[in-house]
Structures are given as C-alpha cells and as structure tokens.
Chain A
C-alpha cells in the first residue's frame, strides 16, 4: 500500500464481509478500502462475487457478517437511498435513467432547482446541468431527451447525477463493456478529473489493459473471497490472471470418449450489427464445442441467431450443408436443432404446465391427431424420457415448477431430445443447479455426444468448459478471439482470449 494512503481514513470500506444466498457463499470474509483521490480496480471471473460486493456497498444487500464503514464509522444501510445519502454513487452497466425526460431532468429528478412559488426554474436547471458537464469536460445538451443517447453518454449523465449530489465515492460496474475506444478514453479522462477532485473511485472491468491505464490499487476476487488486495504498481497481467483463475479443477467431469464425425453445423460469417461480427465456426457430429467468454461477449446472441430467434444482418448457418433461412425458429427446429435457453424458467419451460406437457411440447403435433392432445400418448412419451434421463419427480401431472433446477433442466432436455435433433445448443447448461445434479447433467450431455449428437454449449464456468468440451471457442466483444483444442485449452489461455489479451483482441 502506498505511503499517503496508509495514514488516511478510507472513504468507504468493507470489513470481513460475508454473504450467502442459500447454500451459495457469494462473499466470504471480504475486505476492501476506497481512498479519496485514488482509483481501485475490482477484478474477478463471472460469479466471483463482484456484484454481491458492489451491491453490499450500494445498500442493496446487507452482509450476513462484517461491516460497511463510511469515513471509518460503521454504518448500516437499509436501502440504496441510504447509501446515496452517505455519498456513494453506483454507475451500473445499464444506466437507470428516464428515457422520455431531458438530460437535465434526469440529473436533478426530485431535486430540481426551484424559483418562487415552487416552480421548477428551468433556466437554472439547465445551467446547473451544463456546469456539471463542463466540469466533466464533455458536451451533452441539457435540454435533449435521454432517449437516443449512447450508453457512453448515458453513463456520463449518471456521473453528472452523482456529482450533483456531491458523491464522494463513485463505483462503476463494468462501465467500459459497451463502449468504443474513443468513448473509453473520454470516460478515463472524466475519471482522472474526478480523482483529482478527490473522489474515491472503484472501477470494475475485465479488460486488464484498462485497469493498468487508470487504476492505483487492485482487489482481485475468486469464489467470493479476496485473493489480492493492494497496489497495482509492479504487478503484471499474469499476476492478475493467476489470482483470478488459480483454482483447482478437482471437480469430476465425466467426459465420455466419442467418435467425431462430419460437420453438422457450419456458421459462416454470421453478423448482427452492434452485437457480434463475422462469426464463423463448425460443430461436428459427436463433438461438444464450448463457446466461452465473459457475460455480454455476444455468445447467447450468436446461439439465438443460429436458432432464428434474432435476425442476422449478415452471414448464415448451415445444417448438414443445407442453409437455414434467416429468423425462422420453426425452420431451425425442422432442420434438427434443439435449443436449451439460458433462462430456464422464462424461456425453457412453461412453469404452470405439467411435467408431461412440458416434456412433450415439441411433439405436440404428433400427439394430437385432429388437434386434440391424447393424454395417454403424452404420458407415455413423457414417462419414457423421464426414465431415460433419470428424472426425479412425484407425478407427471405435477407442475414443472415443483421440480428442482437440475430436474427442470432434464425436462427441457427431454423436450428437445424427443425431436431427435442433430444439433443441440445449450446455453449455460448448469446455471442455478446444485453441485450434485450438475455432474448428472454433464454426464447426460457427454453421453448424448457419444451417440453422435453435435453439441454447442455456452458456458461462463471455466471448469465446465474445460472439463466438457472437445473444442473451445472464445468470444470477446462480439468477435471470436480464440479457438483451442481440448489439449491446448487451459484456464489462462481461455481467460486471456476472453479478456481480449490476444493479438486480435489488443487491436480492437
């Protein structure tokens, strides 16, 4: 720790904080301090506990153990408003603004300057807003509506809002994730200005080069615990990556050997403007291909576009050499694609319907000659798959919502397997599934591949990617930045590609 901060009292600190959600320890004994006039980076993989830590500082969560300190005094926030009143401003990745109102109104909502008779003094409102933007050194008109502003400009509106109530601590949650190069530069200029004015800033980012460009201190998290907390000076990329990923992969992944056949899926220069660009790859029969990367890299969007949920602006996908029409999920289904979405509860299942109905939904037509579903056929088909996937259930008539997460996922799998697909796309196969059932889902996927199914798996969990995949593709900011065979792939390589630390990535 540098000399001048050693003696100073931190503006905002977290001491030995822990927070659990059910059996998940999101935060274990985490401590960190934010000093005025300094910028701290918060680093960690997806699920390392960064958001929980930020939300604890923001007053959204209350820690189960440990304390939040403002100027060295322990405080207890009862909500985001308390944290704001203590001078803590959080700038989320997706700004929380009023799109229909003007920039100035967004900055001063609820605190607009008033003239006689409690009328809003519009001139003063606009002048004050203009003054804030002048301090920040950016040109945004106070009168214009927020709708139509870029994410970068919206973040600046959020920063202006923070300044307007004299926030002394500014926490930015992945502010650069959606910004272009020049926008990042402008944000950094603003951040340096704030630092000079004595604000304490915390900066969450996955882009290591950005962290070195702007930060004084760094806190690295892994599995809810802080693995490094101190000066950034003298540290290298390798140090940071090691602290981020240095966990043991001792979990067992029951990878079944399978014979890899001909290509089933070919994706050719697929592009969706503003989301992902020029994505090309293949998935062969019997092969599990993992699509790795950070949240927001565009992986799910690629999958959605292949399946035809989103429209492609360029390029196309082929199944067994036959081109899929753009934006037609029914055609994708007919061509033999199954799609297990990321959000099981919203998109994968109809929660209020029975297990049997959910499991057979894709085969509804064949179960319903003359348009009336034959309950007996439905049950027979559902119970067949329930047995094959070792589904744990009480009765097939029960709501699917009564099942555990892992068993719900099996129902989604059953639904697609009943269509006898050639390609299965699975987005985050084990999200929200307990450890025991996870291995079962993994075994199932692996077995399916060994029987010749082509699998495209999107996963944010590195051990899952490394344990399951025959080949790993890595995306960073909408582009493929790495491809590794099972032998080549390791945590550091994948993480490097995912954070844009490759030759292509650095040029972006």
Chain B
C-alpha cells in the first residue's frame, strides 16, 4: 500500500468512526423524542381527546415544574454528583412562598426571589459538604433531604396554605396563560433555554462537563473543580426554590409534605433524557423532554383509565430501558474500538 493509500484508508476509517460516534451522541435525544411521539400517537388513537388543546395544556403544566428542577439536577449530575434533596427544598420553599404571600403581604416578585435564594442556600450546604467535606453527594444529599424536610415540618407546625389566602395574580402564574400558552410552561421553557445556552456556550458551563468526564484531567487543566461543583449545587438548589414557588402557584394548597418523592421523578427525567448518571454526558434539553415524557405517561394512563399502579411500573421500565440502552451503546462502542485498534496493530 502506498503512503497515499494508507492516508485515504485512515481518513475513511476516521470518517466511519466519526459517523458512529456522532450517531450515538444524537441518538440520546432522538430516541426519547421518538418515544414521546409514539406515546402521544398511540394514546391519541385510543382516546382522541388526549390531543385536545386543554389536555395538552394540562400536560405542559404538569411537566413544567419537573423540567425546571431537572435542569438544575442536570448541572449537578453532569459533574458526577447527585442532589436528592430537591424534593425537600421544593417543599420548604413552597410553604415559605405561601407564608410570605398569605401572612406577610410580601410582593409576589420579592417572594419568588426569596424562594430562589432560600433554595440556593440549601444548595450551598449540599455543595460545601460534598466538596470540602469529601463526602459522596449521594450521602450528603440523602442526609439533607431529611434535614430540609424536617425543617419544613418545624416551620409549618402543622399549618397549611390554602389557595383562598393567596393573591389571584400569583395563582395566575400557575394556572393562567399568555397568548394561549400556560405561563408556567413559558417560565420552564425560558429556564431550560437559559441553562442550556449557559452549559453550551460558557467556560464555566463546559467545565461542568469536563469535571464529570474526567475529574483528574479537569484538575490538571487548572479548573477549580470544587468551586464549580458548589456552583452546580447552588444552581440546582435555586431552581428547586423557583420550583417551590411555582408549586405554590400551581396547586394553591401547600403543607410540609409538598414535593415528597419529586427528587426521584426529577432524576428519572434527567436519566431518561440521556443525562448519564456517571457524569459528563447529556443536556438540559434532553432532561426537559424526559420530564415531558414522564408527565405524558402519567396523563395517558389516566386518560386510558389504566390503574395508577401501572404508572410507576411504566416509569421504572422506562428508566431501566434508558440505562440499558446507554450501557449497550457503550459496550458496542468499546468493542468496535477494540477491534479497530487490533486491526491497525
């Protein structure tokens, strides 16, 4: 073989490898969009009312809060950490928001900002314990999940916030529409877009991917890993705080148990949406679509009058399928690469 031939052969090989990997990278989000469309199509055929506008609006509202918190969770998971405390942060801030508006006549904007700050403060606790305490995030946030929930119980002291005591303009955020589109959905859309653009286009955003992809290499590249990880936890907490305020606006009725179990739904949304639990891979867009898919499953099962028991089973099956798919793709890639380098040697 002449040198030129070798060169051509090599570029052809490179081309094939590139296509393969590109396909895999795209598939992560493509696969879930397909699953979503399939689910909507099947449900719509069985029950045409499912795709009526009101029904879709409801679907969008249900998925919005999960999508916002999943955006924050994605930032944390990208760094190969996890935040199990988001459900508790949501409960705490949801009651805080209702309390401010019902009993202290706080302006709505101020109340929401305070909720975000409270969530961020919870994120600081998680981040600092994880990085400077050198305790795995799973353990830290499992602990703070109970701690924050405990604080919520002490704070509410058995009280409950009711929709009647909340200002209508606030409730409107949760139930109203702007130009026909649910307000809460617009907020989620903007949040996901901002986080998505940040992760894709800013140094500190890319560094979150770098940390999750190869922690040691990130340190060698001069990235201040601890600071970035704390920042990711703070952002996640802040978005959970925003989620809390929106929860109050959407449901009106809030007690200390608000958002129980949300952490798992949020993590499921991210993982189903292609965010690798091992860090470094995934996007908030995927996580947001994951949130919509999970919401869609719930709604379609209700519409089709299937026992709600099946809903959890369906979510579980989907999670396992998503993880199995990731693993399968990884194995295939490894095998392909091993064979390829063997041929070259």
Which residues of A does B touch, CB under 8 Å? Answer: 80-81, 84, 96-101, 105, 109-110, 112, 114, 118-120, 122, 139-141, 144-145, 147-151, 180, 182-183, 273-274, 478
Contact = CB atoms under 8 A, between A and B. Distances in A.
Nearest to A178: B341
Given A273-B342, A274-B338, A112 B206 contact: yes
B345 A274 contact: yes
Q: Give the 5 A-B CB pairs with smallest separation, nearest first.
A: A274-B342, A273-B342, A98-B213, A100-B280, A96-B217
Given A96-B220, A119-B201, A274-B341, A148 B17 contact: yes
A187 to B, nearest CB: 14
A180 B340 CA distance: 12
B333 A81 contact: no
B210 A101 contact: yes
Contacts of B172: none
B83 to A, nearest CB: 20
A99 B345 contact: no
A100 B203 contact: no
A348 B18 CA distance: 40
A273 B339 CA distance: 7
A110 B341 CA distance: 31
A134 B217 CA distance: 25
A148 B223 contact: no
Contacts of A139: 11, 14
Interface centre among B6, B14, B213 (most CB of A within 10 A): B213
B221 A180 contact: no
B337 interface: yes
B202 A150 contact: no
A118 B14 CA distance: 33
Nearest to B330: A147
Contacts of B339: 273-274
Interface stretch (B19-27, B39-47, B114-122, B148-156): B19-27
Q: Interface majority SS on B: helix, strand, loop or mixed? A: helix
B3 to A, nearest CB: 9
A110 B203 contact: yes
Contact of B18 (A99, A144, A151, A180): A144
Interface string B7-21: 000110010011011
29 contacts: A80-B220, A84-B220, A96-B214, A98-B210, A98-B280, A99-B280, A100-B209, A100-B281, A101-B210, A109-B218, A109-B221, A110-B203, A110-B210, A110-B221, A110-B223, A114-B203, A118-B202, A119-B201, A141-B18, A144-B18, A145-B21, A145-B25, A180-B345, A182-B6, A182-B10, A183-B344, A273-B339, A274-B339, A478-B345
Nearest to B335: A273
Contacts of A84: 220, 222
B255 interface: no
B210 A109 contact: yes
B210 A273 contact: no
Given A101-B209, A120-B201, A150-B340, 6 more contacts: A98-B214, A98-B217, A98-B280, A112-B203, A141-B14, A274-B341
Nearest to A109: B221
A342 to B, nearest CB: 22
B17 A120 contact: no
Interface of B: 6, 10-11, 14, 17-18, 20-22, 25, 201-203, 206-207, 209-210, 212-214, 216-218, 220-223, 280-281, 333, 337-342, 344-345
B79 to A, nearest CB: 12
B222 A110 contact: yes
Contacts of A119: 201-202
Nearest to B17: A148
Given A81-B222, A98-B280, A118-B202, A147 B214 contact: no
Contact of B206 (A81, A101, A141): A101
Contacts of B338: 273-274
A144 B24 CA distance: 12
B171 to A, nearest CB: 36
A150 B21 CA distance: 13
Given A110-B207, A110-B222, A148 B21 contact: yes
Contacts of B280: 98-101
Contacts of A274: 338-339, 341-342, 345
A119 B222 CA distance: 19
Given A100-B281, A144-B21, A150-B344, A120 B203 contact: yes
Contacts of A96: 214, 216-217, 220
A122 B221 CA distance: 19
Given A180-B345, A273-B342, A120 B202 contact: yes
B274 to A, nearest CB: 12
Contacts of B344: 150, 180, 183
B216 A120 contact: no
Contacts of A97: 214, 217
A28 to B, nearest CB: 28
A21 B137 CA distance: 34
Contacts of B340: 150
B153 to A, nearest CB: 38
B283 to A, nearest CB: 12
A104 to B, nearest CB: 11
Nearest to B280: A100
B131 to A, nearest CB: 18
A226 to B, nearest CB: 28
B209 A98 contact: yes
B337 A148 contact: yes
B56 to A, nearest CB: 34
A112 B202 CA distance: 9
B63 to A, nearest CB: 27
Contacts of A114: 203
Nearest to B198: A119
A105 B221 CA distance: 11
A147 B333 contact: yes
Contacts of B206: 101, 105, 109, 112, 120
Contacts of A118: 202-203
Contacts of B218: 98, 109
B342 to A, nearest CB: 4
Given A101-B209, A110-B221, A148 B214 contact: no
Contacts of B6: 182
A298 B165 CA distance: 74
B298 to A, nearest CB: 31
A144 B342 CA distance: 22
B341 A150 contact: yes
A109 B21 contact: no
A52 to B, nearest CB: 19
Contacts of B220: 80-81, 84, 96
Contacts of B281: 100
Contacts of B212: 100
Contacts of B345: 180, 274, 478
A74 B339 CA distance: 48
B22 A144 contact: yes
Nearest to A112: B203
A140 B216 CA distance: 24
Nearest to A99: B213
Contacts of A149: 17
A149 B341 CA distance: 10
Contacts of A180: 344-345
Nearest to A145: B21
B205 to A, nearest CB: 9
